[in-house]
Structure 1
Amino acid sequence: MPADARIDDETAGFIQGAVSIIAATRNAEHRPALVRAQGCRVDPGGAGLTVLVVADQATELLDDIRDNRRVAVVFTRPSTHRSVQVKGEDARIVAASAQDLALAAGYRDAMVAELALIGVPEARVRALLAGVGELVAIAFSPTSAFVQTPGPDAGRVLEMPR
């Protein structure tokens, strides 16, 4: 994906919706670190993404981002298994805003509704997403994106508009 690539409107709608979000990176020895995120926002025009994580749950991931600035984030809708992966090479950690805190609360409510479609009780979802501690934001520009939905299309590069 070229440096001026953008997330298209359809993909932006998907990744900002009721999707499971896992952010991952690796250290200098290529050992992975990952954490469940608490929401995503796409900048107007699709040139940047921000995912929210609980700092205490993401210590290793945040250290790796400070070290190498690489991140991969997978977004999966549980009721359909549709999955998209977005990667970036300029990730940075920024303070979560009041808007981000509201986004995380709305995200948790949306996931309650989404997981109810497949029979997961609300209390279990709220426990899974109970982010106790400070939320921080990981902001990055997309450098590549892929279909990760299981099946014959898995791994296909998503073409991004300029």
Structure 2
Amino acid sequence: MQEGAGIKRIPVLTVAYLTRKGPFDGIPAACRELYAWVKDQGYQVAGPPIGVYHSNPLDVPSQELLWEVQLPLKPGTPLNEPLGDAPGVKKVPAREVAYTFSTGAYATVGAVMQALFSWIFAAGYRLTGPAEEVYLNDLESTPVAELETEVRFPIEKRAARRS
């Protein structure tokens, strides 16, 4: 794992979210839609956008991929169940994550995820949720070579095997 990687605790987050099905190249448009909705609702954004990947692109055709974009909101924002494909607001529980960073084109993030995934298992952990990416700079205005992404997986320590 590279420098700046490791394990950390993520606190409970209140997030605006938008769930989608289809290729991951729809993420920038979904982020724009979610930012516009948050602004229309008068909510305050409290962190960078997050992508949550409920499907593995190695196992699922691109048109069937399930994913979600999230925007952390100021604590105390009222929860809001979405209607149909509309955005909503929910709480994401506190969790421990293994994380690392990727710089450059999003096409290279897959290899970073694979390396992190391997490290998680070698270190005695197991996954407890889907892969996440935190987009640390603007998805549309940042030159591809300068894109910075935090890659993370929710984890927990594996139970010791009994002999």
Task: Note whether the superposition's TM-score is higher than 0.5.
Answer: no
- When Rg is computed on C-alpha atoms for both structures, the one with the higher figure is 2
TM-score, normalized by length of structure 1? 0.26
